[in-house]
């Protein structure tokens, strides 16, 4: 028996631990960390909505505010859904590890390793995206007055303080919230992609096992009970892993369907508002 460690899924652990979404070791510090991240993102949404109290509401102004606010709301829902369903991610990971540890065919092991490599490439691209989203934090101290005015027009906020004197604190709060939101959105998307790549790998293994059974059928005449039993056994194994992969997908879909329904609706509205501008 060969033990396969789904190491490439664990590569996501660092990013998820950073944002308090790793399903293991839920300490008080992790809970506090998650609360602060959620509070930071929600607060920037509130400070965008407070602009309605001090600014004349026009159609263009409403569209501009909500086109930014809805994106951050989407990230909050995504973050909350993974926080609430952390037991789902934990169970999927453990079951996937168990199934991979039971593989002993070299070709089946190669399929899982190929899936791991694909997940690794997705992680690399996502890490680049997160790094790019964090770059504005390094530019705060180099902003000119013209840049500050541009940012103020790009994302409308109202803190009820002198924004000229507190510009750097406002930008730090704004950029931190946006960076956390984008990193959470990309990180959770990468994790989901990694899971589904491995689910597809299980379907590939089922297809491979069925092909092996059919190859026995074509190469040998089924004239004795031994050959028949061998074919039936391979078909049974193919059906088992195919059913397991379907159960994984259905289990994931059942637990995330409500959150993803809201995310899809908000995404459509957000894209429509941005295209309308």
Identify whether 93 is part of a domain.
yes
pLDDT of the residue at 82: 87
Does 177 fall in a domain? Answer: yes
Count of structural domains, the chain: 1
Cβ(36)–Cβ(42) below 8 Å: no
Please write the tens of the pLDDT for every residue from 61-115: 888 888 888 888 988 898 889 888 888 888 888 888 888 888 888 888 888 888 8
Dist CA 56 CA 262 (whole Å):
29
- Residue closest to 186 by CA, chosen among 106, 132, 243: 132
pLDDT digits (tens, 9 = 90+) for 171-225: 788 888 888 888 888 878 888 888 888 889 899 999 998 888 877 655 555 555 6
Does residue 149 fall inside a structural domain?
A: yes
Query: How is 136-154 classified by DSSP, letter by letter?
Result: HHHTGGG--HHHHHHHHHH
pLDDT in tens, 115-146: 878 877 777 776 676 666 555 544 544 454 54
Helix (H) or strand (E) holding 21: none
pLDDT computed for residue 53 by the predictor: 85
Using pLDDT thresholds of 50, 70 and 90, give the confidence band for residue 246: very high
Position 24 in a domain: yes
Note whether residue 204 is domain-resident.
no
Please check whether residue 104 lies inside any domain of the structure. yes
Residue 214 lies in a domain: no
Q: What pLDDT score does 221 carry?
A: 52
Cα–Cα distance list, 103 to 3, 23, 69, 98, 204 (Å): 7, 25, 47, 9, 13
Answer whether residue 134 is part of any domain: yes
pTM of the model: 0.78
Domain that holds residue 74: 2-189+257-276
């Amino acid at each position: 028996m060969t033990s396969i460690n789904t190491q490439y899924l664990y590569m996501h652990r660092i990013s998820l631990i950073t944002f308090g979404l790793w399903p293991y070791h839920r300490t008080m510090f992790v809970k506090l960390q998650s609360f602060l991240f959620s509070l930071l993102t929600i607060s920037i949404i509130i400070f965008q909505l407070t602009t309605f109290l001090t600014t004349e509401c026009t159609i263009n102004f409403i569209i501009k505010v909500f086109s930014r606010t809805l994106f951050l709301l989407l990230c909050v829902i995504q973050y909350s859904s993974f926080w609430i369903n952390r037991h789902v991610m934990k169970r999927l990971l453990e079951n996937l590890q168990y199934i991979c540890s039971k593989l002993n065919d070299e070709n089946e092991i190669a399929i899982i390793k190929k899936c791991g490599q694909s997940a690794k490439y997705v992680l690399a691209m996502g890490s680049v995206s997160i790094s790019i989203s964090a770059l504005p934090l390094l530019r705060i101290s180099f902003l000119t007055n013209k840049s500050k005015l541009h940012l103020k027009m790009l994302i409308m906020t109202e803190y009820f303080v002198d924004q000229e004197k507190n510009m750097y604190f406002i930008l730090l709060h704004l950029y931190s919230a946006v960076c956390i939101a984008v990193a959470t959105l990309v990180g959770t998307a990468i994790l989901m992609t990694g899971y589904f790549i491995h689910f597809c790998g299980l379907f590939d293994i089922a297809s491979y096992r069925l092909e092996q059974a059919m190859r026995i059928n074509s190469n040998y005449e089924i004239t004795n009970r031994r050959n028949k039993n061998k074919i039936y056994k391979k078909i049974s194994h193919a059906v088992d892993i195919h059913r397991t992969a379907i159960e994984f997908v259905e289990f994931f879909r059942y637990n995330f369907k409500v959150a993803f329904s809201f995310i899809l609706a908000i995404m459509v509205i957000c894209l429509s508002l941005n295209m309308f501008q």
